[in-house]
């Protein structure tokens, strides 16, 4: 602004020293400079308003700021050349406002989609194996401020879990026992699991029933086969062919062996 004032002062001194035939041209030049200066100031005010919203929506504000910097550069070039381009600047400003409106609309649509995805995944969570449920809970604790990243992390962990064999240990309570039993669990993806106690006294399967993950102690399951499968997964035993029962979900949601 101080440069502009010195420029205007210099122009005024030059005006006094010029002869009469050139006074009209000098006055017109000064008016052009004033108009460009006014446009410059209006642009700076618009920039300040955008920066004030920076903390509310930083990514979108950064895009707006880049557009505003481009506009400022154009106005600076116009001022240096002492040309009056008022109409072109107005058109450019209208284009920037249109682009800003489109960005805000796209952001609103994205937020709506993320909310819908989060609702669906929350409803799906009870059907997941317990280790995967814990992974989802930990992801929510680490990244609760960024819903999009959280939902993508959930989907990624589900995909990884579903594509591998997973081993896990936890305590389960048999139907006719007052105490919990520590069992080893073997998950085949996210839909089927088997478990056995270390001594083979307890064994069973895990799967989805009525919209949630359920463990079942089963006397018809060979605990030895499960323990051998766990040993193979831990690379403590050579690979071999094993037979394990697979649970399937019926149309009513009941799990049948």
Q: Please tell me what DSSP assigns to residue 220.
A: T
Q: pLDDT tens across 69-86, in order?
A: 888 787 777 777 665 556
Q: pLDDT tens across 180-238, in order?
A: 999 999 999 898 999 999 999 999 999 999 889 999 999 899 999 999 999 998 888 78
- Residue 169, CA distances (Å) to 148, 166, 246 in order: 31, 10, 20
Q: List CB contacts of 137: < 8 A, sequence separation 6 or more.
A: none
Distance CA 201, CA 223 (A): 8
Secondary structure (DSSP) of 16-56: HHS-GGGHHHHHHHHHHHHHHHHHHHHHHHHHHHHHHTTTT
Closest CA to 90 of 75, 76, 80, 69: 75
Prediction pTM value: 0.54
Distance CA 89, CA 36 (A): 10
Question: 3-class DSSP state for residue 174?
Answer: coil
């Amino acid at each position: 602004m101080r440069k502009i004032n010195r420029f205007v002062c210099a122009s005024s001194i030059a005006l006094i020293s010029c002869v009469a035939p050139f006074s009209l041209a000098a006055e017109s030049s000064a008016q052009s400079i004033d108009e460009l200066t006014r446009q410059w100031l209006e642009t700076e005010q618009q920039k300040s308003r955008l920066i004030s919203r920076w903390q509310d929506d930083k990514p979108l504000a950064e895009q707006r700021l880049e557009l505003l910097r481009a506009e400022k550069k154009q106005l600076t070039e116009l001022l240096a050349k002492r040309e009056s381009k008022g109409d072109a600047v107005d058109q450019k400003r209208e284009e920037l406002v249109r682009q800003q409106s489109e960005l805000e609309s796209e952001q609103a649509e994205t937020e709506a989609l993320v909310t819908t995805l989060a609702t669906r995944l929350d409803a799906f969570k009870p059907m997941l194996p317990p280790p995967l449920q814990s992974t989802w809970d930990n992801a929510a604790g680490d990244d609760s401020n960024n819903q999009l990243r959280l939902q993508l992390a959930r989907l990624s962990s589900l995909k990884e879990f579903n594509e591998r064999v997973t081993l896990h240990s936890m305590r389960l309570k048999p139907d006719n026992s007052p105490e919990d039993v520590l069992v080893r669990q073997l998950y085949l993806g996210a839909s089927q699991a088997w478990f056995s106690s270390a001594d083979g006294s307890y064994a069973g399967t895990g799967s989805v029933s009525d919209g949630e993950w359920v463990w079942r102690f089963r006397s018809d399951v060979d605990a030895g086969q499960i323990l051998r499968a766990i040993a193979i997964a831990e690379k403590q035993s050579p690979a071999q062919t094993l037979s394990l029962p697979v649970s399937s979900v019926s149309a009513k949601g009941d799990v049948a062996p």
